[in-house]
Structure 1
């Protein structure tokens, strides 16, 4: 057991806590690391440079599901192409499992790529091959024997729930089934890292949920690191442990998915998330709201519930313990990265002293609150 030193927030005294070796490996030995990475392309006949990525600093923890989100043209696809060596950085380093991808020759790059699986938006299956044949293709290219291929492909088809479709051709499969075959093929070479480039954007919501559940199962059961590129916020919210927001070729926000979604500060993140992790006030309320209290007005309070406190009856306790009349005006409860998150808009009939006491009560129990206005 290794030990780590942290500082107590109240006393500044050092505390020594045990650190699990697996946790230390994830943080100090990431599966992917971008070190001051920039990528520039020559554009048009003038040869003027276009900066696709600018000074990217990012780590993908080993064993995690990490999402990269951004608008079209933000640099997401360029970033993922650097990971599998299809592009080389103009400056900086991209490390995959400790190997500098840009620094290896073509022969060694092929070996590294066998440790990286890739699933695509449009499946990229060969129409002339059966489901079995598509999954077997990378193994045939690697020179694996027929029986070894059978021993590898059969269990993979079973893993993705398509053992009974091994003889079917892509034209006979649904979109979700095609993507499952694509996932099985990506796993055929037993990779350490799985890259997903908008893998669910061509699928309907129900099929998307089933594919995400499959990816999470693969991540947990096989210990596979997953790096996914997407513009779909629901995808990141449902599956990713960590997220980075990219805009104009730069990482503008990053962290745990829960923290970024519930405490985002950058305007790009806010625009991408929209109402996903927040809640817009209903018009019937905003049309009557004023920024300053008036005689007889009620205070409108936005209360944010995070983590374990999201399911506690704090508002009921607020009324019973402080004697404040609480009326719920709007609300939403969600789950982000497996953790509950809720937001309520309430009106309180109380003077400023009691409002301050109410907010202090909520803060004491780990709930955030803000006064958004006053309504008569």
Structure 2
């Protein structure tokens, strides 16, 4: 995988042979094929099926997010990719290598090409920032002079050159995570795994760490696989999204597709806290599935693509003479594309609803009836 815009003799990726693609044709760097994972029964618990028939891929150079509730199987999935667990059935391919088929020596080799960043940083308190970043290189037997040549530009990259001699106890949470990112990049990985890496950070720090990951992806061509339950993280940097529920992939697509038109109920629940997807409490408390006399239809209108900023609703009221109550809304950007939502209500009437949906659909806008309120 060739670097993008990397400075000579500083930062560049040299994935080991296990991840090389001899044909040179762009391909998926990660593929899970029919993967299941069952943890056997023990004296304390029954057998647990953590993953069930997972098919998943991550394109080289992409940022792919895997989202799901706690206990859905996200962490088990990531442990299979870096070889910490073996699947019960199926194949876990990283490049052209089946990770599950590797002996311990092979696993050590491929892990040099798979960086990992963690929720709680996992830094050694007795080592300085420099020495924490240098640790995987020391384990690999790299000469001290070569370690310095690698670690110094990495500290520049993550903005910690002035903290090289500090200890973890002297750093903020965001700085600790930047050390973790630099350490993960030390062995020039082709793949970076992130397991809830921002969930312990405040919003401002999260944003700066995400900006750094996006820059690493863009400038180094690094493939990133994110495990997260934070939808703001997904919205900000992911290209593709897979939704996992009870050990199965229930929905997948581009980040924009998932946010603008979620299909599975689990996806809708996960996105319910995203601005514009929320139903105001005073509406949600009165929402019913069936209309009643004099009730109002509650509908979400999603604005995307070339019509995202058009004054469609004013045209709707002007041309069709329909009156709407605006209950809420938001304008945002997902994966670089404009995205807006508007929550409206209007008298419950089948003909009126059909007319509105036809008018909005002809202009490329999506609608969803959420229910009815008296």
Partner of 1:328: 326
C-alpha distance in structure 1 between counterparts of 2:191 and 2:82, whole Å: 10
Partner of 1:64: 62
Partner of 1:117: 115
Distance 1:372 1:93, change over 3 A: closer
The secondary structure found in structure 2 opposite 1:43 is coil
Partner of 1:193: 191
CA contact (8 A) 2:41 2:48 kept: yes
Match runs of 1:299-338 below 5 Å: 301-338=299-336
Instruction: Tell me: higher relative CO, structure 1 or 2? Use CA pairs within 8 A at least 6 residues apart.
Output: 2
The secondary structure found in structure 1 opposite 2:121 is coil
CA contact (8 A) 2:291 2:348 kept: no
Partner of 1:97: 95
The secondary structure found in structure 2 opposite 1:31 is strand
Distance 1:247 1:358, change over 3 A: closer
C-alpha distance in structure 1 between counterparts of 2:49 and 2:351, whole Å: 54
- Does residue 244 (structure 1) correspond to residue 246 (structure 2)? The answer is no
Match runs of 1:194-233 below 5 Å: 194-233=192-231
The secondary structure found in structure 1 opposite 2:31 is strand
- Unaligned 5+ segments in structure 1 are 1-23
- After TM superposition, the structure 1 stretch with the greater mean CA deviation from structure 2, 321-330 or 136-145, is 321-330
Distance 1:368 1:168, change over 3 A: same
C-alpha distance in structure 1 between counterparts of 2:341 and 2:155, whole Å: 42
CA-CA distance at 1:155 after TM superposition: 0.8
CA-CA distance at 1:132 after TM superposition: 0.8
Larger radius of gyration: 1
TM-score normalised over the length of structure 2: 0.84
Aligned length: 349
RMSD: 2.7
C-alpha distance in structure 2 between counterparts of 1:206 and 1:325, whole Å: 40
Bigger proportion of residues as strand? 1
Partner of 1:15: none
- Does residue 167 (structure 1) correspond to residue 183 (structure 2)? The answer is no
- Unaligned 5+ segments in structure 2 are 1-23
C-alpha distance in structure 2 between counterparts of 1:164 and 1:157, whole Å: 8
C-alpha distance in structure 2 between counterparts of 1:261 and 1:151, whole Å: 42
